[in-house]
Structure 1
Amino acid sequence: MTDRRTILQILALSSLAAVPAVGATLKPTTDPAAAWRNPGAGQKDPRLYCLAHAILAPNPHNRQPWLVSLEGDDSIVFYFDTSRRLPATDPYDRQLAIGCGTFLEILSIAAAEIGYQAQISLFPMGEPQPNLDDKPVAHIRLVKGGAKDPLYAFITQRRSNKEVYDAKKPVSPETLQNLLTREPVERLTFAGALSGTPACEKLRSLSVQAYRREVETPIALKESIDLMRIGKAEIAKYRDGIDLDFPGIGAMQAMGLLTREKLMTPGTKVYQQGLEQYDPLAKSAAGYVWIISDTKDRYAEVAAGRAYARLNLRATALGIAMHPMSQALQEYAEMSAIKAETEKAVGMSPDKCLQMLARIGYAGKVPPSPRRGLSEHLRT
């Protein structure tokens, strides 16, 4: 997946604000960062307050594949948006199911902040296989009670940081342990490896190989390029996908230096340098963390997503940058050998599933990724 700052380097080388009360109309916005500013402010319906936070959850390719409907006075029905699949790189919707889990966890944390528990019943009409479908992912009921979650404070600060990390600032073993062992989850295993260890060095190499394999697989690369939002106008129009913007981008497009065709075409400078862009990212990783589930079903995928959301929030609280390295876990044929090597590198047995892999380290702050706004996720 191409990130906007790397493309900037390549080319250099050649809220939702206040949400209205229940019953009022939720106005769409074209501001891609609006959802991150004081989500749920002024909201009288606790469900919309929680949902305004949930749409800030991390998710694959920033697809934001979430649809909800409100039922009665206290319930939400949560659906997967089947129009937002990633058929080339996520053919069985495993990663998107994880994205549904992150949504549910952020919603639950937000509910606790305002004195509610989110009672979540998964797949009330049965587990969807081999793909997610348009039946409910979850039924959610908000009931009074429960303690606040300290991770709430970091929801609007959380980022997937795709920058080069500070190679001179290692993550200590104590910090890694604190990150991974604070909240063990039943049927999930959390583990990690720091720079200099054989596992970390192997994962660095595999991260680069996996990214290159994705770029060299035309259908997989096209999926990412099609979801790239180039320039302010496209970012404001779509408010999802992979945002690419920097000063002078319009001129570069006008001069033909930055086109989707060139990004897709082997032999062009921008393609070749894009192919190499994960090298410095992997080399700068202070370590890797991963999540393994005991089973290979939708319940495990959602649980892994909920656990990853908390892991990302705890990393934010600890000042640690985190970046999912999803390419090596993708389930299309061209990636199968690298996926098997990655599973071996983390010591996974064949009966389990490697659900998440992310690099960690220290880096400067980055802006939030675009969000479409809560009105875009409400079913009418």
Structure 2
Amino acid sequence: MTDRRTILQLLAISSLAAVPAVGATLKPNSDPAAAWRNPGAGEKDPRLYCLAHAILAPNPHNRQPWLVSLEGEDTIKFYFDTSRRLPATDPYDRQLAIGCGAFLEILSIAAAEIGYETQINLFPMGEPQPYLDDKPMAHIRFVKGGTKDPLYALITQRRSNKEAYDPKKPVRAEALQELLTMEPSDKLTLAGTLSGDAQCESLRQLTIQAYRREIETPVALKESIDLMRIGKAEIAKYRDGIDLDFPGIGAMQAMGLITREKMMTPGTTAYQQGLEQYDPLAKSASGYVWLISNSKDRFAELAAGRAYARLNLRATSLGIAMHPMSQALQEYAEMGTIKAETEKVVGLAPDKCLQMLARIGYGGKVSPSPRRGLAEHLRT
């Protein structure tokens, strides 16, 4: 879930002071944040109400890889959108499957809020390996019942905060313990560490190394750059991917200071800014949290996604900022050594899988990631 929001801002300090901004005026129907405001308002079908919340789930590179069809009066068929893969950085669709699990959890939380329970039958046509396919990931039936979940109120407030955190406000041990409290599970383990611990310092260095390794791997870097939405016009057009917007960016584009080619080219200021971007983010982390599954199958990946969605919502309730830094867990060859070292640091057993790794701290308010809107996810 890489971010480029701060790339090249230093270039704007002097060269653009007198240059008028260049940008696009958003039309109401292209507002990339519209989905976050009163999701599901006016929907009479409870499934649509809940789906309008589910599309706000965290997911890698903001790919939003979700497709659904409505069946009968009470059922949803849920599919992975195979056109939204990340073949370079997520070659086996593991992280995208986690994003699908997060979708299912937010859907269930929203259903409980309006008096429904979701009965979810996973992979009704068999577990897809080694890649996700276009067969249904789940059949979801809505039935009356369920208990309201206090996390519901936090769905539209949840963020992945990719900014530097406040170094003067550390996360205390008691807050970490409260964050890590989860329902007993024989499928997952949730753990964490705080700044000052040797384990935390090791993860800090590994997350920096992993991000730099991704930048230094051309095919991985290109995948991220291809998904960058630079400036308001592109963000409004695509409403997905890695949004990059700050004052003066339109003028920087017009002057050729920001181009995808420069971001891809070692030796340019743009490339170097990208390479160093995660250093201050990792250094500002007050700690790290991670999720380990007791198996390595698709069911475990979806369970990890559901657990991560709840963890992110719980962090929101505690005022704790959270940012996935899972580059070190990616399964392409160039990341192999760093991945192995990261697994060693968290004490991973051979039969288990390190599914998620995120930094935590206290940060300022950030805008929500763009969303394409519910209509884009409905199969007809």
TM-score scaled to structure 1, two decimals?
0.95
Write out per-residue CA displacement over residues 272-307 of structure 1, whole angstroms, 9 at most, x where no aligned residue. Answer: 121011110000000000000010000000000000
Of residues 165-174 and 304-313 in structure 1, the stretch that sits farther from structure 2 once superposed is 165-174
Distance 2:50 2:11 in 1: 40
- Take 1:49 and 1:207, find their aligned partners in 2: how far apart are those partners? 38
1:8·1:246 contact (CA, 8 Å) conserved in 2? no
Cα distance, 1:2 vs structure 2: 5.4
Whichever residue aligns with residue 86 of structure 1, its letter is L
- The DSSP-based 3-state class of the residue aligned with 2:5 is helix
Note if contact 2:120-2:138 (Cα within 8 Å) is conserved in structure 1. Answer: yes
Cα distance, 1:10 vs structure 2? 3.7
Unaligned runs of 5+ in 2: 15-27
Equivalent runs, 1:134-283 vs 2, <5 Å: 134-283=134-283
CA RMSD of aligned residues (A): 1.2
Question: Partners in 1 of 2:137 and 2:11 — Cα distance?
Answer: 42
| 8 Å contact from structure 1 (residues 61, 241) kept in 2 | yes
Q: Deviations over 1:7-29 (max 9, x none)?
A: 15343367xxxxxxxxxxxxx93
Residue matched to 1:371: 371
Greater mean alpha carbon deviation, residues 3-12 or residues 335-344 = 3-12
What SS does the corresponding residue of 1:121 show, helix, strand or coil?
A: strand
Partners of 1:90 and 1:96 within 8 A in 2: yes
Aligned residue for 2:297? 297
- Deviation of 1:42 (Å): 1.3
- Once residues 2 and 97 of structure 1 are traced to their aligned partners in structure 2, the CA distance between those partners, rounded to angstroms, is 17
Contact 1:65 1:82 in 2 (8 A): yes
For residues 201 and 13 of structure 1, the distance between their equivalents in structure 2, rounded to whole angstroms, comes to 33
In 1, are the aligned partners of 2:291 and 2:304 still within 8 Å (CA)?
Answer: yes
Distance 2:66 2:11 in 1: 34
Runs of 4+ in 1 over 6 A off after TM superposition: none
Tell me the CA shift for residue 69 of structure 1: 0.1
Query: Helix, strand or coil for the counterpart of 1:236?
Result: helix
- Displacement, 1:351? 1.2
Name the structure 1 match of 2:6. 6
2:5–2:243 CA contact under 8 A, matched in 1:
no
Alignment of structure 1 residues 293-372 onto 2, 5 Å? 293-372=293-372
CA distance change for structure 1 residues 50 and 333 in 2, over 3 Å: closer, same or farther?
A: same
Which residue does the alignment assign to 2:133?
133
- What secondary structure sits across from 2:137 in the alignment? strand
Aligned to 1:44: 44
Structure 2: how far apart are the matches of 1:371 and 1:219? 26
The verdict on how the C-alpha distance between 1:85 and 1:146 changes in structure 2, with shifts beyond 3 A counting, is same
Per mean C-alpha deviation after superposition, the further-off stretch among 150-159 and 182-191 is 182-191
Deviations 1:21-63 (A, max 9, x none): xxxxxxx931100000000111110000000000000000000
TM-score, scaled to structure 2: 0.95
Task: Find the aligned partners of 1:100 and 1:214 in 2 and give their Cα distance.
Answer: 23
Number of residue equivalences: 367
Q: Is the 8 A contact 1:89 1:332 kept in 2?
A: yes
Instruction: Give the AA of the match of 1:185.
Output: S
Does the Cα contact within 8 Å between 2:328 and 2:339 map onto a contact in 1? yes
**Are 1:10 and 1:274, in contact at CA under 8 Å, matched by a contact in 2?**
no
CA distance in 1, matches of 2:185, 2:312: 15
Aligned residues: percent identity? Answer: 84
Mean CA deviation greater in 173-182 or 160-169: 173-182
Native 8 Å contact 1:71 1:77 kept in 2: yes
Counterpart-to-counterpart distance in 1, 2:85 and 2:5:
25
